[in-house]
Amino acid sequence: MQPIDITATMIILGLAGAWLLQLFLSYFQLRRFYGRVSQLRKTGNLVSIGVAGSAWKRRQYAILVVDPHTDIIRQSEQLSGWTVLASLKPLRGLEGMTLQDLLDEERPLPKHINRKLALALRDAAKHIVDFKNRKKEEDEQSLVESSNSVETVSTSP
């Protein structure tokens, strides 16, 4: 039996160390990201995260902050950068636009918004529209249930 080459051992240990460092830095990036999302949610607006891309290609993340009553975009941010040191950056040019304007693919977006970022923003907008539709259905269902209970109480002898 031949002893393991010290070079191979050092390469394996180096790769394992790099992987652990990347895992550690990713954890802190996630904490910063969700900490910022938490700050945005405290404003009382609806906040949604959209994603575009795949596991094999660079992903693009976008955050939309929308007024819950008027569906007007108040703020948007993007996670940009290639490494775990990437952070959220403000995205200008969408303030005042409605969700329906953003979802309309015929409407041009500002020139600095590339195709993948537009997909991430539209994904976030779809999440908000879906949330509002579900909430509306739940409210209607609870209204029907409460009116049924009132009818039951009033018709009992």
What are the residue boundaries of the structural domains of the chain, listed by start?
A: 6-144
- Over the chain (157 residues), the average pLDDT of each successive run of 10 is 75 94 91 92 93 84 94 91 81 92 90 92 95 89 72 51
pLDDT of residue 2: 58
Predicted TM-score of the model (pTM): 0.80
pLDDT of residue 149: 61
User: Are residues 46 and 133 in contact, defined by beta-carbon separation less than 8 angstroms?
Assistant: no
SS3 content of the chain, % helix, strand, coil (to 5): 50, 20, 30
Residue 117 burial class via C-beta count within 10 angstroms: exposed 0-12, middle 13-18, buried 19 and up: buried
Q: Which conformational region is residue 130 in: left (phi greater than 0), alpha (psi within -120 to 50 degrees), or beta?
A: alpha
Amino acid at site 66: V
Give the model confidence (pLDDT) of 91-137 as tens digits: 999 999 999 999 998 888 899 999 999 999 999 999 999 999 999 88
